[in-house]
A and B are shown apart, each in its own frame.
Chain A
């Protein structure tokens, strides 16, 4: 079944640790996105990719980095986690044809940095 997966679903980690949030999709989509969502707040785009070896920063400044070595995989890395990084991180993907394409979201990773 075509879907988009995120692991881990929940992560509690200490300050200064390096973490990688995984996102994979089996939908055959070229475009992938990372959003940050705090409770009661908007989703903010932090990274996006139009395809392999393409990555762009989104509208919200983030200390995280991303890579896109394979079409189906779009991991997000924090080199040194801080309490200010505590948030929900949502991964999404969409097709690349046409002016508008529906974005499909994964279930999210809830990150807590102590």
Chain B
């Protein structure tokens, strides 16, 4: 069983829709939770970072962590065509924070 599970999609939604991306994980030691965005032919770039449980908002993006359910989410409001990319969840534990475990990514397409 993978430590991090992510629905690969692809997910296609119309412009302006609210997008929900999710990951589940099995390692209860994970403390750091990240969402990376990867455009085609580019490296991943950090979008959101959360420590432990709770919500974090940054503009149109909201990251949620529910450690009791081992479930994390990324919400995108008022989605734009420029949000079309692959979104990777990632996480690590305190003892090896440099070693990040990545999900397989969800491919998102926003239709104009």
Contacts and interface: CB of A to CB of B under 8 A. Distances in A.
A100 B51 contact: yes
B interface, over-half SS: loop
B104 interface: yes
Contacts of A4: 43
Contacts of B99: 45, 48, 58-59
Interface residues of A toward B: which range? 20 to 34
Interface stretch (B60-68, B74-82, B90-98): B90-98
A48 B99 CA distance: 9
Given A92-B43, A102-B49, A108-B43, A40 B105 contact: yes
Interface of A: 4, 31, 33, 40-43, 45, 48, 58-59, 90, 92, 94, 99-108
